[in-house]
A and B are shown apart, each in its own frame.
Chain A
């Protein structure tokens, strides 16, 4: 078990963030693309069926170039293990000693993996998972046999914690506590051991349902925050920005209009102001301080979560202007991801299907419940994925979109 980190001495220097080696060939990024979704995929030859690692341009057995990334069984045998006591790489140099091992996967290849501390000496059976490291690239980790990444509790492991963004012991800002989703996120974070949770609420004169319950949670501090007000965002960032380890931006404006169902731009503009410009304002004000604290001990700045929408991938015409604002936010979040990467701060994008709330009243189930979505967010933080698609609708849309984005557009326009 990790012990609670000591309170930071505020006069000591904050160390600058370093990253593990981040360069990958284009073909190797296939491993990262799958790991970003929490999947373990390796290259497999369509001609001879060989599974290979590391990724290459051609099959190592039959030289075919017809390779595809496919989910693979995760079990294997730890052949040997070793402890690194010296490294010229700045990232590992600061974290020595570091334990690694060679795992022979049941599906064929032998891989180098970072070892969970509960994996005892070789030889033994292990489970391998692909995780994103601080550089945002996939690496392989070996977990105790039979355990899922959740059960392995990587955040409790000194080495593997580097691959997670676990809220335990961390200070979190949730930008909107007025919605059922915001309140569910706060409760889930509190249960996950977050040290302090700042909860924003706009229009503080309107008392909202759930206010008293939220206030009663010991870790919670409510503060007026309106992401459409640049001055307010700047002041809140000045006040707490240097302490925020995880920022969850769930502030959202959602109206159910197409182009023709609502005359004028007022609702669409309000959607852009919260969903797109709100993210931009938060990123400009909170980004720099979080980037400066990417290596601030066990409870460093570690993640930025954006609650987007599956409609960010393809426009859902009945909610057409909302979809456009979420597509804009998605694009900006890619920029944010690039800018946060040098500090090792992970940007997690959440693409839920319709949430069971006021503005999706007329949409038929299945709808994502606030509790389900908040669990998915905390799971993503714990397991270190980058893109999450919670809910049946989101999963189905994602599959259709990955298969053929044009076909999905046509399906949605009828």
Chain B
């Protein structure tokens, strides 16, 4: 039996489950905030075109607007200055096979609950590999923090205080290790950025954006349901919209997981 036939059969039988890693796009969902004098990404907004009414008697549909980096979204290398001159660096030119890959899920939920500024380090990753095996090339590394469980409460999800945002993320060495020594395809998080809330103060600022995109790798953020994935063995499907020269896009992220 071919691998795809077997996949199809096991999907039908429910032996392979599909887990939705996507937040619902809605106007209430928190969005990134920059200093007010800078350009701003649009939040998700939706307006009715018609609703079986005088504007369109038999049909219902909406217009929506949002930035490329709204809701659960994909970051392409062109998003960051370090990746601006790479080949195939925008969502329309990335090779499609890159959108599908194995997922290594690093559970940092206890650490993030104890410290919202938790930084994932290289020693933490090496320790994780001792338990779960080596992270393979072309894979997605997903940082599970259970932060998405706060998403119904935008205040807790954004977690601002007078010094800015406090959300977990990777430190500089962890990012370089994953890119340079493990050759991963991308890094995913449950909070609003792939970088920590306070990553502006790391060196360089926003190291995950700087090194991932500088090496032609991708980012996924605002993921959810990472607690339903095994540490290893899941497959992630994360294909962004094909926007010409797009720096990213909202997308539906799915994971295939084998039932026990």
Q: Which residues of A contact B (CB under 8 A)?
A: 203-207, 226, 228-232, 255, 264, 266-267, 270
Cβ-defined contact, A230 with B157, below 8 A: no
| A-B CB contact pairs (8 Å), 21 listed | A204-B154, A204-B155, A205-B154, A205-B157, A205-B158, A206-B33, A206-B158, A206-B160, A228-B43, A229-B27, A229-B43, A229-B45, A230-B45, A230-B47, A231-B46, A232-B27, A255-B37, A264-B39, A266-B39, A266-B40, A270-B40
Contacting residues of chain B (1-58) with chain A, CB-CB under 8 angstroms: 27-28, 30, 33, 37, 39-40, 43, 45-48
Cross-chain contact of A230 among B46, B158, B160 (Cβ < 8 A): B46
Candidate in A228, A229, A264, A270 with the most chain B CB atoms within 10 angstroms: A229
A264 proximity list for chain B (CB < 8 A):
39
7 nearest interchain CB pairs? A205-B158, A229-B27, A205-B154, A205-B155, A266-B39, A230-B47, A231-B27
A129–B154 Cα distance when bound, in Å, is 52
Known: A229-B27, A267-B39. 10 other contacts (CB 8 A): A204-B155, A205-B157, A205-B158, A206-B33, A228-B43, A228-B45, A230-B46, A231-B46, A264-B39, A266-B40
Cross-chain contact of B160 among A207, A226, A228, A255 (Cβ < 8 A): A207
> A50 → chain B, closest Cβ, in Å?
56
A232–B29 Cα distance when bound, in Å, is 12
Q: A229: nearest residue on chain B (CB-CB)?
A: B27
Contacting residues of chain B (129-149) with chain A, CB-CB under 8 angstroms: none
Q: B162: nearest residue on chain A (CB-CB)?
A: A207
Cβ-defined contact, B27 with A226, below 8 A: yes
Cβ-defined contact, A205 with B45, below 8 A: no
A20–B207 Cα distance when bound, in Å, is 69
> B65 → chain A, closest Cβ, in Å?
10
> B203 → chain A, closest Cβ, in Å?
27
Cross-chain contact of A205 among B27, B39, B48, B160 (Cβ < 8 A): B160
A255 proximity list for chain B (CB < 8 A):
37
A226–B28 Cα distance when bound, in Å, is 10
> B120 → chain A, closest Cβ, in Å?
24
A81–B30 Cα distance when bound, in Å, is 64
Interface size, chain B (Cβ < 8 Å): 17
Cβ-defined contact, B30 with A205, below 8 A: yes
A204 proximity list for chain B (CB < 8 A):
154-155
Candidate in A205, A207, A232 with the most chain B CB atoms within 10 angstroms: A205
Contacting residues of chain B (43-100) with chain A, CB-CB under 8 angstroms: 43, 45-48
B30 proximity list for chain A (CB < 8 A):
205
A206 proximity list for chain B (CB < 8 A):
33, 158, 160
A257–B88 Cα distance when bound, in Å, is 36
Q: B67: nearest residue on chain A (CB-CB)?
A: A266
A232–B39 Cα distance when bound, in Å, is 24
B33 proximity list for chain A (CB < 8 A):
203, 206
B28 proximity list for chain A (CB < 8 A):
232
Contacting residues of chain B (157-176) with chain A, CB-CB under 8 angstroms: 157-158, 160
B157 proximity list for chain A (CB < 8 A):
205
B158 proximity list for chain A (CB < 8 A):
205-206
> A203 → chain B, closest Cβ, in Å?
7
> A276 → chain B, closest Cβ, in Å?
15
A228–B27 Cα distance when bound, in Å, is 10
B47 proximity list for chain A (CB < 8 A):
230
A205–B48 Cα distance when bound, in Å, is 26
B43 proximity list for chain A (CB < 8 A):
228-229
> B157 → chain A, closest Cβ, in Å?
7
Q: A255: nearest residue on chain B (CB-CB)?
A: B37
Contacting residues of chain B (219-241) with chain A, CB-CB under 8 angstroms: none
A408–B46 Cα distance when bound, in Å, is 40
Q: A253: nearest residue on chain B (CB-CB)?
A: B36
Q: A263: nearest residue on chain B (CB-CB)?
A: B39
B154 proximity list for chain A (CB < 8 A):
204-205
> B69 → chain A, closest Cβ, in Å?
14
> B179 → chain A, closest Cβ, in Å?
32
A206–B147 Cα distance when bound, in Å, is 18
B155 proximity list for chain A (CB < 8 A):
204-205, 207
A288–B89 Cα distance when bound, in Å, is 51
Q: A256: nearest residue on chain B (CB-CB)?
A: B37
> B192 → chain A, closest Cβ, in Å?
10
> A232 → chain B, closest Cβ, in Å?
6
B45 proximity list for chain A (CB < 8 A):
228-230
A206–B43 Cα distance when bound, in Å, is 15
A203–B47 Cα distance when bound, in Å, is 19
A267–B36 Cα distance when bound, in Å, is 10
> A253 → chain B, closest Cβ, in Å?
9
A204–B33 Cα distance when bound, in Å, is 12
> A119 → chain B, closest Cβ, in Å?
53
> B253 → chain A, closest Cβ, in Å?
23
> B150 → chain A, closest Cβ, in Å?
10
> A265 → chain B, closest Cβ, in Å?
11
> A188 → chain B, closest Cβ, in Å?
26
> A227 → chain B, closest Cβ, in Å?
11
A232–B43 Cα distance when bound, in Å, is 13
A361–B91 Cα distance when bound, in Å, is 41
B160 proximity list for chain A (CB < 8 A):
205-207
A270–B42 Cα distance when bound, in Å, is 9
